[in-house]
């Protein structure tokens, strides 16, 4: 191999090394971008987990609220029913008194 050929081979190797360095730099940038994206996805994943836990807690609270509302509705229905029961009892007592008075009147008239 002549000096010229050796020089040419060295120049070609340097060109290939420069191309490889440029290619390596591009790959390094892509790798950095991929790691940044991975970090962003990790943060997003953590946010989604927190959101899921929050929704789970809210669902439990909503269920307890619904249970309390049902209990309050039952109590309210009982309170609403009490005056009607009292009114029914008063009406029955009045009817009983009237019937007793009528029977007493007839009994007094018949025996008198």
For the full predicted model, state whether its pTM sits above 0.75.
no
Is residue 72 domain-resident?
yes
Report the candidate in 69, 94, 80 with the shortest Cα–Cα distance to residue 102: 94
User: For the chain, how big is the Rg over CA atoms in Å?
Assistant: 48
pLDDT of residue 107 exceeding 90, the answer is no
Is residue 107 domain-resident?
no
Report the length, in residues, of the chain: 112
CA 48, CA 24: separation in Å to the nearest integer? 36
Domain count within the chain: 1
Q: 11-67: per-residue pLDDT in tens? A: 999 999 999 999 999 999 999 999 999 999 999 999 999 999 999 999 999 999 999
Higher pLDDT, 48 or 91: 48
Domain that holds residue 41: 1-80
Give the per-residue pLDDT at 27. Answer: 95
Is residue 91 domain-resident?
no
Give the per-residue pLDDT at 5. Answer: 92
Is residue 102 domain-resident?
no
Is residue 8 domain-resident?
yes
CA 37, CA 91: separation in Å to the nearest integer? 80
Torsional sign, CA 11, 14, 20, 23: negative
Is residue 40 domain-resident?
yes
């Amino acid at each position: 191999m002549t000096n010229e050929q050796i020089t040419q081979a060295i120049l070609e190797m340097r060109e290939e090394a420069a191309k490889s360095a440029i290619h390596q730099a591009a790959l390094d940038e892509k790798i950095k971008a991929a790691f940044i994206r991975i970090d962003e996805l990790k943060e997003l994943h953590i946010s989604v987990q927190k959101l899921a836990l929050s929704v789970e807690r809210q669902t439990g609270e909503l269920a307890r609220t619904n249970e309390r509302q049902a209990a309050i509705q039952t109590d309210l229905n009982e309170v609403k029913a009490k005056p009607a029961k009292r009114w029914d009892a008063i009406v029955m007592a009045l009817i009983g008194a009237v019937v007793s008075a009528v029977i007493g009147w007839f009994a007094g008239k018949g025996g008198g």
